[in-house]
């Protein structure tokens, strides 16, 4: 990526960062090759990256353009979804039952929220910034609170998207299942919000890139795009992120919370695969399928490259290192590497399963190093137990 | 903060100004545009909002902290099986209870069980019913009997009178209560018992036990009822009076006496209680140093009895009273709407717990695993009394605390709720 700091170093640090941010945003939009995908992502990109609609300090209203699909004959149309619905009903749990009486000290070296090596401090030291033991713990606390804040914002998006998808989906068994997912997402909002408010006492603003993805799928009127965005991409991202944190945290309440959430997420991705596999492979024209294939690739890249915790950078390092340097630190850190591995090892097989990894797009995945995840199991073959035991 | 801002904007729109001239939808769009432009300008000048906000627990979370799966966290009832159902009068029934696992039940005459009555609607009511039976010599019994009189409109008492059959299981707490007479074979005392209506229940147990275990004791029972058919344990009491004619005097007072009734008529008001006491004093004497008074009945009768006794110069320490006020008839103070931190000191350590709105001090303490004593959980036994060190609580009244205890700052943890931060100590 272009290091803008060579041109802007005579400007104050905050302006330098801003110019880097603009360059990054333009780079994202310019990299989109399909004009239809650009049309779908572009306005969201402007609202998120340029206008920071999620950070204006006021609630955001996102207009919806989908159609609520009614069916007065209540067909039993999707046995696999009916089965998911049954499993979802018995899989409900109560957020109050988590061990909330656990006292959480975010700086406790015995039970760290994230391991010290999550952010690779040697890269920070290479830039001449020395952090003592206390500062390292504080930075780990910030990173963890940042991640959980993004989970919370993502779950809010998932809650509303799940509701929209329940309205728009054309399978009746899918609607019944969708109701349970709305409940699941509501519970996830509840527990992440409660953990942040009562245990970490900190809430970061929504990351602009996450805002772009949520905005894009909330405002897209096509039900299958919502499905693709929510059930495959965002849920895949969530599963990767939750799993990474679950594996790495030593804080018992957070571990238990994530374990319960991951069990729900496994169902959600499975539903997305069920619904889209048939639709994409049988009911779309080649052109429509290609557009979705490209959209998924762009969003995957957005997810791979852009979750650089800039909010933590602003809190800690603005003026001490450039935004580009921070980006490097984050991308090379062990925790983020782990996160990308888990996320794509779940996401790529799902894209293959729903028919969005044709030989046409494979070279582009190959180019960015994502093809090595091609052979994994898709969500319809994965149980929550496998998901969790892979992590233990 | 965001809400404040939005409200102010809405007010600004209402309160006149150029925006008034435009349709509301346009104003909303203009405001959004202003925000967008301001955001971009701030970006360019390097002014950005703080990346994070400091957060505190919200009401939503606090409420969720304490309601454990059941509202009575830490209060586990005992299950007893109904082995016999005896109809004492048209409006009173005796239920004999045993432990399904054969454990004997220890109690002192005069104590009561808190019965958790589950209605058909699923509501669980807690009511106190006294034990009317007699413990064995070792202070326990394989079977205990409670007697329940129907209250007009009483949901629990009517349910127990009508719906319970042999073999049913009752959930109970206790036995509880300090309105008791512990049998002492060497005692040479005179017990004067003043009973009104179903207030006979604990006094029946005391009468039977005292006559059986204390050969040197005398018992006089003054028992007020409306009519003859309302007299609970009538035959049992009469046969006791025959068997212990020298030591047991039974004096009925009826407000609607049948023809030929020779006892006193009218209500057990102050005058009638005084007349009864005069009569007892005249026939067998009332030795101030050997006589103890036990009073149980409806509230007006209890007040009258207390006045009459004090007017005769009886030492208040010799007057024992048992009050059963149905929770439904208690003053129910408005439940605190907010949760409050409560510092509870018990056994030399202090812990601060948060009570959810509506949760009692006892429930909050038990939910935090504090070893708080309790028995009846409904304000009737005084076991859970705690001293209020600071702050205020609201308590359901009346309860079994006497004036002296209240003046010393005691409150009952099971019927008190904190509306604001407070500190209590378990004595």
Give the SS3 label for residue A239. helix
- One domain for residues B230 and B289: yes
How far apart, in Å, are the Cα atoms of B294 and each of B50, B133, B216, B317? 71, 17, 18, 11
- Give the range among B118-127, B160-169, B188-197 with minimum mean pLDDT: B118-127
Residues of the domain holding B197: 190-328
Q: Are residues B29 and B88 in the same domain?
A: no
CATH number, domain at B405? Answer: 3.10.20.30
pLDDT at residue B68, as a whole number: 37
The answer as to whether B63 is a domain residue is no
Residue B395 lies in a domain: yes
Please state, in angstroms and rounded to a whole number, the distance separating the CA atoms of residues A198 and A195: 5
Contact B253, B221 (CB under 8 A): no
A99-113, B135-149, B281-295, B336-350: segment of lowest average pLDDT: B336-350
Check whether B67 has a pLDDT greater than 80.
no
Task: Map residue A349 onto helix, strand or coil.
Answer: helix
Eight-class DSSP state of B335: P
Residue A47 and residue A40 in contact, taking contact as beta carbons nearer than 8 Å: no
The pLDDT of residue B335: 64
Please state the rounded mean pLDDT for residues B138-152: 88
Q: How many CA atoms lie within 13 A of B53 on its CB side?
A: 14
B216 in a structural domain: yes
Inter-chain residue contact A204 with B52, CB threshold 8 Å: yes
Q: What percent of chain B has pLDDT over 70?
A: 89
Q: What per-residue confidence (pLDDT) applies to B334?
A: 64
* Min distance B31 CA to chain A CA atoms (Å): 11
| DSSP character at residue B403 | H
Q: How far apart are CA A157 and CA A168, in angstroms?
A: 16
B10/chain A closest Cα distance in angstroms: 13
Lowest mean pLDDT among A13-22, B40-49, B220-229, B402-411: A13-22
Could you report the per-residue pLDDT of A229-287, keeping only the tens digit for each?
888 888 888 888 888 899 889 999 999 999 999 988 888 888 888 888 878 888 889 89
- From B5, B6, B44, residue closest to A18, measured CB to CB: B44
**CA atoms in the 13 A half-sphere facing the CB of B67:** 14
Helix (H) or strand (E) holding B84: strand B78-89
Q: Select from A117, A196, A50 the least CA-distant residue to B61.
A: A196
pLDDT > 70 fraction of chain A, expressed in percent and rounded = 94
Chain B residues near residue A201 by CB distance under 8 angstroms: 54-56
Average pLDDT over residues A213-218: 90
Contact B52 A196 (CB under 8 A): no
Handedness of CA A169, A174, A175, A179 (dihedral sign): negative
In this structure, the answer to whether residues B202 and B309 fall within a common structural domain is yes
Q: What is the mean pLDDT of residues A183-193?
A: 96
Residues of chain A positioned with their CB less than 8 A from the CB of B53? 202-203
Tens-digit pLDDT profile for residues B203-250:
999 999 999 989 999 999 999 999 999 999 999 999 999 999 999 999
- Distance linking the first and last C-alpha atoms of chain B: 45
* Residue where a domain stops, chosen among B176, B205, B233: B176
A119 in Cβ contact with A335 (< 8 Å): yes
B15 pLDDT more than 70: no
Asked if residue A49 lies in contact with residue A28, where contact means CB atoms within 8 angstroms, the answer is yes
Is residue B1's pLDDT more than 60?
A: no
Within 8 A of B58 by CB-CB distance, chain A residues are 193, 197
pLDDT of A391 over the 80 cut: no
Query: What ipTM did this prediction achieve?
Result: 0.80
- Together in a domain, B95 and B169: yes
> What tokens does B412 get?
């009952």
Closest residue in chain B to residue A51, using alpha carbons only: B36
User: In the predicted model, what is the mean pLDDT of residues B51-69?
Assistant: 65
pLDDT score, position A152: 95
CATH number for position B258: 3.40.50.80
Q: pLDDT at residue A317 above 80?
A: yes
Residue B372 lies inside a defined structural domain of this protein: yes
Q: Is the pLDDT of residue B162 over 50?
A: yes
- Residue B239 is predicted with a pLDDT of 94
On the question of pLDDT at A386 being above 50, the answer is yes
pTM tops 0.80: no
Evaluate if residue A29 carries a pLDDT over 80: no
Going by pLDDT thresholds of 50, 70 and 90, the confidence category of residue A68 is: very high
Domain count, chain B: 4
Mean residue pLDDT across chain B? 84
Measured between CA atoms, the residue of chain A closest to residue B28 is: A61
Q: Does domain A5-391 have CATH number 1.10.620.20?
A: yes
Q: Which residues contact B312 (CB under 8 A, 6 or more apart)?
A: B274, B277
Q: Which of B229, B213, B199, B212 is nearest to B221 (CA)?
A: B199
Higher pLDDT, B356 or A215: A215
* B25 contacts chain A (CB < 8 A): no
B7 pLDDT higher than 60: no
Token pair belonging to B400: 């079994």
pLDDT at position B5 is 52
Task: Match 């002014």 to its residue by tokens.
Answer: B47
Distance in angstroms between the alpha carbons of the first and the last residue of chain A: 36
CA–CA dist A153, A215 (Å, integer): 12
Average pLDDT over residues B397-424: 86
pLDDT: which is higher, B14 or B49 = B49
Interface test with A, best of B10, B49, B55 (most A CBs within 10 A): B55
DSSP state, residue B420: S
- Of A13, A194, A311, which is closest to B52 when you measure between CB atoms? A311
Per-residue pLDDT at A126 exceeds 70: yes
Say which DSSP state B261 is in. Answer: -
Question: Which of B41, B48, B57, B63 is most worth mutating to test chain A (most A CB atoms within 10 A of its CB)?
Answer: B48
Question: What six digits make up the tokens of B392?
Answer: 């205020």
Tell which residue, B108, B41, B190, B161, has the closest CA to residue B381.
B108
Q: How far apart are CA B204 and CA A76, in angstroms?
A: 68
Residues B118 and B161 in one domain: yes
- Tokens 């309205």: give the residue: A167
pLDDT at A312: 93
Residue B259 in any domain: the answer is: yes
- Report pLDDT for B70: 39
Q: What pLDDT, on a 0 to 100 scale, did the predictor assign at position A389?
A: 67
Rounded CA separation A388/B118 (Å): 42
- Here the tokens at position A325 are 């340097």
Q: In terms of domains, do B86 and B124 share one? A: yes
Q: Do B52 and A12 touch (CB under 8 A)?
A: no
CA proximity to A106, closest of B54, B88, B115: B54
Domain check: are B370 and B318 in the same one?
Answer: no
Tell me if B360 is assigned to some domain: yes
Query: What DSSP element (H or E) covers A202?
Result: strand A202-204
Structure tokens at A28: 């994202």
Residues B214 and B85 in one domain: no
Q: Which of A131, A191, A123, A65 is nearest to A316 (CA)?
A: A131
Asked if residues B225 and B195 have their Cβ atoms less than 8 Å apart, the reply is no
Q: Mean pLDDT lowest for which of A41-55, B15-29, B326-340?
A: B326-340
Q: Which of B176, B198, B213 is the last residue of a domain?
A: B176
> 3-class SS at B380?
coil
Angle between helices A323-332 and A13-31 (to 10 degrees): 60
Token output for A375 = 């052979």
Evaluate whether B162 touches B95 at the Cβ level (below 8 Å).
Answer: no
DSSP state of B15: T
Pairing of strands B248-254, B143-149: unpaired
Task: Report the relative pairing of strands B422-425 and B385-390 from DSSP bridges.
Answer: antiparallel
A→B contacts (Cβ < 8 Å), by residue, are 12-15, 17-18, 21, 50-53, 55-59, 95-97, 100-101, 145-146, 149, 193-194, 196-198, 200-205, 311-312, 314-315
Q: Are B131 and B175 in contact (CB under 8 A)?
A: yes
Please report whether residue B70 resides in a domain.
no
Cβ of residue B41 closer than 8 Å to a chain A Cβ:
no
- B337 Cβ contact list (under 8 Å, min separation 6): B357
Tell which of B273, B307, B328 closes a domain.
B328
3-class state of residue B85 by DSSP: strand
The residue assigned the tokens 């319960």 is A260
Q: Are residues B92 and B139 in the same domain?
A: yes
Does some domain include residue B237? yes
Residue B287 sits in the same domain as residue B221 = yes
- Cβ pair B260, B181 in contact under 8 A: no
Q: How does strand B264-265 pair with strand B248-254?
A: parallel
């Amino acid at each position: 990526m272009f290091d803008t700091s060579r041109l802007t170093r005579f400007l104050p640090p905050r302006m330098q960062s801003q110019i880097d941010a603009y360059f990054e945003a333009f780079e994202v939009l310019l990299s989109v090759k399909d004009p239809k995908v650009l049309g779908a992502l572009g306005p969201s990109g402007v609202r998120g990256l340029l206008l920071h609609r999620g950070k204006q300090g006021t609630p955001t209203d996102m207009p919806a353009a989908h159609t609520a699909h009614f069916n007065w004959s209540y067909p039993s149309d999707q046995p696999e979804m009916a089965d998911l619905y049954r499993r979802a009903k018995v899989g409900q749990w109560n957020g109050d039952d988590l061990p909330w009486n656990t006292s959480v000290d975010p700086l406790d070296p015995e039970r760290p929220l994230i391991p010290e090596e999550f952010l690779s401090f040697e890269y920070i030291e290479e830039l001449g910034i020395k952090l003592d033991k206390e500062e390292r713990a504080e930075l780990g606390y910030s990173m963890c609170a940042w991640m959980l804040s993004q989970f919370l914002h993502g779950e809010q998006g998932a809650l509303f998207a799940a509701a929209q998808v329940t309205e728009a989906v054309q399978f009746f068994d899918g609607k019944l299942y969708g109701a349970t997912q709305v409940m699941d997402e509501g519970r996830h909002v509840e527990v992440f919000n409660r953990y942040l408010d009562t245990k970490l006492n900190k809430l970061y603003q929504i990351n602009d890139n996450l805002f772009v993805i949520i905005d894009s799928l909330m405002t897209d009127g096509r039900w299958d795009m919502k499905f693709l965005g929510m059930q495959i991409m965002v849920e895949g991202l969530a599963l990767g992120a939750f799993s990474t944190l679950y594996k790495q945290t030593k804080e018992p309440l957070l571990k238990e919370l994530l374990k319960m959430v991951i069990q729900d997420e496994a169902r959600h991705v499975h539903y997305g695969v069920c619904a889209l596999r048939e639709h994409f492979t049988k009911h779309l024209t080649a052109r429509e399928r290609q557009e979705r294939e490209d959209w998924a690739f762009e969003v995957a890249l957005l997810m791979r490259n852009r979750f650089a915790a800039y909010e933590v950078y602003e809190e800690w390092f603005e003026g001490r290192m450039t935004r580009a340097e921070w980006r490097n630190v984050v991308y090379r850190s062990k925790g983020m590497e782990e996160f990308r591995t888990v996320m794509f090892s779940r996401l790529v097989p799902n894209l293959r399963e729903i028919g969005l990894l044709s030989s046409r797009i494979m070279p582009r995945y190959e180019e960015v190093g994502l093809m090595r995840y091609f052979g994994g199991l898709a969500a319809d073959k994965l149980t929550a137990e496998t998901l969790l035991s892979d992590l233990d | 903060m965001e809400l404040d801002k939005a409200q102010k904007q809405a007010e600004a729109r209402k309160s006149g100004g150029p925006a008034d001239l435009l349709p509301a939808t346009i104003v909303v769009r203009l405001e959004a545009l202003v925000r967008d432009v301001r955001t971009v300008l701030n970006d360019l000048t390097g002014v950005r909002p703080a990346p994070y906000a400091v957060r505190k627990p919200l009401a939503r979370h606090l409420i969720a902290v304490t309601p454990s799966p059941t509202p009575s966290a830490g209060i586990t009832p005992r299950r007893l099986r109904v082995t016999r159902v005896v109809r004492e009068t048209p409006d009173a029934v005796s239920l004999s209870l045993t432990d399904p696992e054969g454990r004997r039940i220890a109690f002192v005459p005069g104590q009561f069980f808190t019965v958790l009555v589950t209605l058909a609607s699923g509501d669980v009511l807690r009511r106190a019913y006294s034990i009317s039976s007699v413990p064995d010599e070792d202070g326990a019994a394989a079977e205990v009997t409670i007697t329940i009189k129907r209250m007009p409109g009483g949901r629990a008492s009517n349910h127990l009178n009508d719906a319970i059959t042999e073999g049913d299981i009752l959930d109970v707490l206790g036995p509880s209560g300090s309105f008791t007479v512990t049998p002492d074979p060497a005692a040479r005392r005179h017990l004067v018992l003043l009973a009104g209506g179903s207030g006979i229940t604990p006094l029946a147990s005391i009468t039977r036990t005292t006559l059986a275990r204390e050969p040197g004791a005398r018992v006089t029972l003054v028992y007020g009822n409306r009519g003859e058919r309302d007299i609970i344990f009538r035959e049992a009491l009469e046969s006791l009076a025959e068997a212990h004619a020298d030591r047991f005097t039974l004096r009925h007072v009826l407000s609607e006496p049948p023809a030929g009734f020779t006892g006193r008529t009218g209500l057990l008001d102050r005058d009638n209680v005084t007349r009864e006491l005069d009569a007892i004093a005249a026939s067998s004497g009332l030795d101030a140093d050997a006589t103890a008074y036990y009073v149980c009945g409806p509230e007006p009768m209890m007040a009258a009895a207390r006045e009459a006794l004090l007017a005769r110069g009886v030492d208040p320490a010799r007057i024992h009273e048992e009050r059963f006020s149905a929770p439904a008839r208690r003053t129910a103070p408005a439940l605190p709407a907010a949760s409050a931190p409560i510092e509870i000191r018990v056994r030399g350590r202090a812990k601060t717990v948060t009570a959810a709105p509506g949760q009692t001090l006892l429930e909050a303490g038990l939910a935090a695993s504090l070893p708080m004593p309790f028995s009846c959980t409904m304000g009737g036994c005084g076991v859970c009394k705690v001293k209020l060190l600071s702050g205020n609580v609201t308590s359901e009244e009346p309860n079994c605390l006497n004036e002296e205890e209240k003046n010393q700052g005691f409150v009952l943890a099971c019927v008190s709720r904190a509306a604001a931060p407070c500190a209590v100590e378990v004595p």
